[in-house]
Copies of this chain bind each other. A is one copy, B any other.
Amino acid sequence: MANEKLTEQACSVARSASLIGDPWSLLIIREALAGNRRFSDFVEFTGAQPSVVSDRLKRLVAAGVLRSSQYQDHPPRNEYRLTPMGRALQPVLIALSNWGDEFLDNGHGAPLVYIHEGCGQPAHPQMTCTHCGDSVDAHSLRVIPGPGADPDNVARRVSHATRSAD
């Protein structure tokens, strides 16, 4: 998990993956988005070992994805709620869910359906271009360096692309 080789990359995928790119963290976030807050519920509904849940909760709190607060004194018990940073992971979960629905449903159809409260209909959420509103995919997008790009990395990739084109 959180790994210098990842967090040092000027890449938002690498940085995100270093924090939440493991199955049990993603399932804990799934449960937190579903409204669960307690250790015992995370264990019950993720199917992870208690020691794994404990480890991931600590990491997610340290990363700022969850915040912990004590809800009982004797014995002390904490609950874990998503921060705004944590709730902002909903699109990651939707994207994983869509992909699983399409390719890993064993022919049984989607295990769950997202309903959009705004219009009351099944949302079937998709990635769209904020500028024109069309759906986007691997074929319709290209990337260019942004303000946070690492110039060395950009140069290395340009050099590589030039060599590959020879």
A83-115 CB contacts (< 8 Å) to partner B = 85, 87-106, 108-115
Given known A108-B148, A112-B149, A148-B110, contact A117–B141 (CB-CB < 8 A): yes
Rounded to whole angstroms, the CA-CA distance of A22 and B22 in the bound complex is 5
Q: How many copies does the complex hold?
A: 2
Q: Contacts A41-B160, A103-B88 known; A111 to B21 CB distance under 8 Å?
A: no
Bound-state CA distance A132–B145 (Å) is 32
Is A123 in the interface zone, CB < 8 Å from B? yes
Contact B130 A127 (CB under 8 A): no
* B126 A114 Cβ-Cβ under 8 A: no
A118 contact set on B, CB distance < 8 A:
129, 132, 134, 136, 140
- Which size class do A's interface residues fall under? 35 or more
Fill in one digit per residue for A6-28: 1 if any B CB lies within 8 Å of its CB, else 0: 10011111111111011100110
Query: 15 A-B residue contacts at CB 8 Å?
Result: A10-B111, A11-B30, A12-B101, A13-B26, A13-B93, A15-B104, A16-B104, A21-B96, A87-B138, A101-B146, A109-B146, A114-B141, A117-B139, A118-B132, A126-B130
